[in-house]
Amino acid sequence: MTRARALPVLAALILSSCAGGAEPASGSPAPGTDYGEFASLAFEYRDGVRPGVRRATLRCPSGPGAARAGGYLASGDPAALCRRARRLGRFLAGRADPTRPCTLIYGGPQTARVRGSVGPRRVDRRLSRTDGCGVADWDRLGPLLPPVRASRMLAR
């Protein structure tokens, strides 16, 4: 076979091997299924300006079943929120390093607490935006917390 004819055949072989048309292994979820670690989390959010607490819950099954989100998370995509929570399981279960250097940039009066579990990890994490580390930790949670709006105290 000439080089000119072999190149398209080789390209087709490479592409077909990358396409992965194989069946999932026994016990593996079907493509597009979001099975992962079980997660059950409860969120409390205070904006630091108005009295009261906003709450949310997230329940992510480890097998077949629909992920559920309630409270301020109810308008989000539960499967996407579960993926985010699972990726952050170790972070949520850990403690902030008290020796890490943090900028003295005040991000706002907002505070949050996350409790529950992700897989085998127990979660009880408190967050605030009182310095650069707190703002970075807050931003890391992304859509699991309400968006931060500039408070009237900061706008003056």
Is position 23 within any domain?
no
* Comparison of pLDDT for 10 and 43, the residue scoring more: 43
Confidence of residue 63 (pLDDT cuts 50, 70, 90): confident
Is position 82 within any domain?
yes
- The token pair at 75 is 């308008």
Which pLDDT score, from 0 to 100, does residue 29 have?
40
Q: Based on the structure, what is the number of domains in the chain?
A: 1
Strands 111-118 and 68-71: unpaired
* Comparison of pLDDT for 86 and 30, the residue scoring more: 86
* Mean pLDDT for the chain overall: 80
Is position 31 within any domain?
no
Residue 14 has pLDDT above 50, yes or no: no
Task: Identify the CATH number of the domain in which residue 85 sits.
Answer: 3.30.350
Is position 154 within any domain?
no
Average pLDDT over residues 17-40: 49
CA distance 131 to 106: 5
Residue 12 has pLDDT above 70, yes or no: no
Range of the domain at 121: 40-94+105-144
CA distance 115 to 92: 9
CA distance 67 to 1: 54
Is position 100 within any domain?
no
Which pLDDT score, from 0 to 100, does residue 62 have?
87
